[in-house]
Amino acid sequence: MNNFIKKLTVYATAALLVIAALLGTAGCSTENNESNSKSNGSVNLKSGSYIEKKGYKNLSEEEQGKKGNYENAQSRIADMQLVAENSAFMLYLDPELAEFAAVDKQSGEAWFSNPYDFSKDTKAGSDAKAELQSLLTLTYYDVKAAEGTMNSYSDCTLKDQYQIEKLDGGFAIHMQIGRIEEKILAPDAIEVSKFEKLILPKVSEREAKRLNTYYTKVSLSDDSLSDGVKDKYLADVPGLKNNDFYILRDATDREKKLLEAIIEKTDYTLEDMEADTELSGSKEEKTSSALFNISLYVELTDSGLKVTVPSDKISYDDKQYYLGSFQLLKYFGAGKSENGGYLFVPDGSGALISYNSDASKTLLHTTSTVYGMDYSLSFDYGMNSLSQQIHFPVYGNKENNKAFLAVIEDGSAMANIISESGNIISSYETVYPQFTYEASYTVNYTDSTKIKGLYTYHDTNSYKGDYIVNYNFLAGERSDYVGMAEAYRSYLCKNGVLKKSGDGKAGFYLEALGAIEKTSTKFGIPYTESVALTTFSQAESIISEISDAADLSIRLKYKGWANNGLYYSVFNKAKVVKSLGGKNGLEKLEKAAVQNGSSLYPDADFFMVCKDGFSDGYRSSAQSARSIRKENLYLMNPQGFTNFAEFQYLNYSVSPYYYNKYIKEFFAKYNKLGLSGISVGSMGNMLYSEFRKSKAVNRETAMNTITENLGSRFSDYKLMLDGGNAYTLKYASDLTNVPMYNSAYTQEDESIPFMQLVLHGYIGYSGTALNLTGEYEDMFLKCIEYGSAPLFTVAAENTELLNKTSMSYYYSVKWDALKEKVKEYAARWKEAYDGLNDKEMKFHKKTGDNFYRTEYEDGTVFYVNYGANDAVTESGAVVPPRSYLKVKNG
């Protein structure tokens, strides 16, 4: 048999065995193979059997040319197999390219895993076209931290290194991405007679010269060799004691492949190589290329598709490589720039990125981390970012009369969301997730005494759960960002996260500042004393004054009420500050709030500590989180950040490893205070890892620890949170500081109230404090448009002390100066929104320049005009500049 064919046969057999082992079977049985029949373009298989395929490289030239060159969706679907269907959708598969599509039975709209006409794209080069045909793109590192990338098309599909398993309602693609480990027919030592009789006579003079350049004839009887040289050869080839060999000098894998191309044409076989390896005693040579086993499960649901990458199906040689991250279905549902449409990203309140139809955009990507930055991974003083945060793990794409909303169901804390504009490297517009598998961070050290140049930190504490994305398909009138928000709201309601509010009374939010410490002297000796900014009695009076002006449901967040006030020690206790009125004053405030229909939320922070005490159960050196750079993590309040020099106090972090301990200890004290609510603001907007090896906690595990506590120890209290990361919504009664804008990145074209469309009618919420923005009227109009109740931050006295601290951003909080304005906006808010607190926001649209329409389920409509000129509604009503109009029933 020809050596080349024999070698291919051995390699193919080895590959099949490896794949079979991965799939948990010794191979596909004859019975299964015989059942791989097609009927009317469909696959009739039992779950667990394997779908027959030729493999792309075995297709004819005509068949290969057809792929990626289809005229329309219908012609592409006609060339695929129906593998599953339910009452709403049909799922099609092309086994030769491992591509799939879902079709909406009612509308006929189709969503493809990969563009069906990529071959016609004149903008896309060969690398871009390989990405367009891929389901997964991997980023990995070797032991020297050198980065590499692979995609499933070039490194799996083209090599036919995958099998497709039939599932009930879908299929699973089991892939080996990379190069399967194989023997190279260029051994370290070849017995002399074989080299001279089986190889040299069969090659050209030029090829023989190349072989003799790499292979040296060695015999221990050769007197020209010194004893030292002989000993070195013997150490590598012990068989020299009894036989003479041609020995290969040091060669790279690439050089060995070139030698193999010569030797495989001769009479020297793999069997000969194995015999020489045994005879010489040299080690068997194998390639050490990266190879990643990974599976992709695709299943129909009532609303679209569920796509899963199980972490227990990810494997590779972790002694040589590690998987850093992977991008999932990068071009799923991608739209053509020329067709018009937009990408939806959940940046801040929500943002739209219009299709780059006119090629005016030059920036390819936007990338944002779900649930905000991982401060342990990014940089130590992480909280100073001025960008808005992603609170919901969703994204979407609209093209013509169809759209999809993707929900990252599992693995969301390990995800980034990436948008890619078209007319740059290809003609396609897309948005997709990138999941971190093992975290890494590269630093360029320029002045370090220990490390010079680039150094990569790597963490092996990978997430052990599944990565799941649910795709919700929208067609016709529902195929816009309002339909996307409706789909996410339905998803949350179906999963028991959102429950309809039973009270339509308009809410109004206050944040009261409690106590602050200042340094005083007595008899010339300095000491620290607690000074009240707002006593409990004063807070009671403030609530009463607002209630007299407008009958609203006031939600009072009280900061700095315990554990030394605004510069607090660790919250493993609930020690009420005496200067505010002590326990009795707090109890009286609680009763007063309940009596007038308001709610009190004392604020506790389990993530940050301002004071590292001596005997309070917290030491920053032991209980703070450790960054991936093996340094203690410090956090800073994001409000009013300008530069590090302003900060008088560092905020120490609390390791996620200690959340359970501190929360348990805190509630042992808090439960005795007789309160009905609690605020844990930072739990709603902050999520970070612990990279200390002995106490490692990845982000997803930290998230699960938070939700477990929210569902147990917090369950007896009404709960207020900041921002509203999706995993906290199930437990929240109120949210403050819900984003009112997007980050206004260069690529983003419009800010939308996606979060508000989802939340209104279910959870009360506010935006940022009006008095801290300086733009009262503009912010109030934004509240009207977004249904966000106004928030004011207040302090009754001693506000000048704030100017001398790191909290100087509280520059306009004095109640006496604010009270008339607060009461005015409270009355105006009641007039506008009373009775709507329990109503869903059903519609939102920009109807003109600086002119917006918001509609609720009872038919109430708000028109908001931010412009300098009159605006006119659809019915002809005039809305004056910088004002709004409320209309009942449209």
Convert the pLDDT of each residue in 666-709 to its tens digit.
Answer: 999 999 999 999 999 899 999 999 999 889 999 999 999 999 99
Mean pLDDT, rounded, for 69-88: 96
Strand partners of residue 855: 843, 861
- Predicted confidence (pLDDT) per residue in 343-357, tens digit: 999 999 999 999 988
| Percent above pLDDT 90 for the chain | 70
Count of Cβ atoms closer than 10 Å to residue 616 Cβ: 16
Residue 35 pLDDT > 70, yes or no? no
Q: How far apart are CA 414 and CA 433, in angstroms?
A: 10
- pLDDT-derived band at 811 (thresholds 50, 70, 90) equals confident
Least confident residue range of 263-272, 374-383, 817-826: 374-383
Residue 855 pLDDT > 60, yes or no? yes
Residue 42 pLDDT > 70, yes or no? no
Where does 437-581 have alpha helices with state H? 481-494, 536-549
Residue 285's pLDDT is 52
Residue 24 pLDDT > 80, yes or no? no
- pLDDT-derived band at 311 (thresholds 50, 70, 90) equals very high
Residue pair 320/290 in contact (Cβ under 8 Å)? The answer is yes
Give Cα 113 to chain centroid, integer Å.
20
CA neighbours within 13 Å on the CB side: how many for 776?
A: 11
**CB-neighbour burial class of residue 739 (10 A; exposed 0-12, middle 13-18, buried 19+):** buried
Closest by alpha carbon to 417, among 745, 750, 758? Answer: 745
* Structural domain contains residue 717: no
* Structural domain contains residue 881: yes
* Structural domain contains residue 863: yes
Residue 1 pLDDT > 90, yes or no? no
- pLDDT-derived band at 718 (thresholds 50, 70, 90) equals very high
Among 264, 280, 296, the domain-final residue is 280
Give Cα 613 to chain centroid, integer Å.
36
pLDDT greater at residue 40 or residue 313: 313
Q: How many helices (H) and strands (E) does the chain have?
A: 19, 47
Least confident residue range of 425-434, 456-465, 499-508: 456-465
Contacts of 621 (CB under 8 A, 6+ apart): 632
Closest by alpha carbon to 109, among 89, 85, 124, 93? Answer: 89
Among 258, 280, 302, the domain-final residue is 280
* Structural domain contains residue 729: no
Q: How far apart are CA 334 and CA 415, in angstroms?
A: 20
- pLDDT-derived band at 369 (thresholds 50, 70, 90) equals very high
Residue 43's pLDDT is 64
- Most confident of the following: 482-496, 610-624, 733-747, 796-810: 482-496
pTM of the complete model:
0.85
Residue 44 pLDDT > 80, yes or no? no
- pLDDT-derived band at 880 (thresholds 50, 70, 90) equals very high
- Predicted confidence (pLDDT) per residue in 52-66, tens digit: 988 887 888 888 888
Among 246, 280, 314, the domain-final residue is 280
Mean pLDDT, rounded, for 298-315: 97
* Structural domain contains residue 848: yes
Residue 283 pLDDT > 80, yes or no? no
* Structural domain contains residue 578: no
Least confident residue range of 129-133, 422-426, 776-780: 422-426
- Predicted confidence (pLDDT) per residue in 600-625, tens digit: 999 999 999 988 777 788 988 899 99
Mean pLDDT, rounded, for 437-444: 82
Residue 25 pLDDT > 50, yes or no? no
Residue 868 pLDDT > 80, yes or no? yes
Least confident residue range of 36-50, 112-126, 134-148, 509-523: 36-50
Residue 447's pLDDT is 65
Beta strands 507-513; 466-475: pairing state: unpaired
Residue 620's pLDDT is 85
- Predicted confidence (pLDDT) per residue in 629-659, tens digit: 888 888 865 443 434 444 444 688 999 999 9
Residue 39's pLDDT is 34
* Structural domain contains residue 265: yes
Residue 429 pLDDT > 50, yes or no? yes
- Predicted confidence (pLDDT) per residue in 181-202, tens digit: 767 899 999 999 999 999 999 9
Least confident residue range of 375-379, 472-476, 602-606, 764-768: 375-379
Mean pLDDT value across the chain: 89
Residue 863 pLDDT > 90, yes or no? yes
Q: How far apart are CA 671 and CA 543, in angstroms?
A: 24
What's the structural domain count of the chain? 2
* Structural domain contains residue 645: no
| Parent domain of 276 | 189-280
- Predicted confidence (pLDDT) per residue in 531-583, tens digit: 999 999 999 999 999 999 999 999 999 999 999 999 899 999 999 999 999 99
Residue 889 pLDDT > 80, yes or no? no
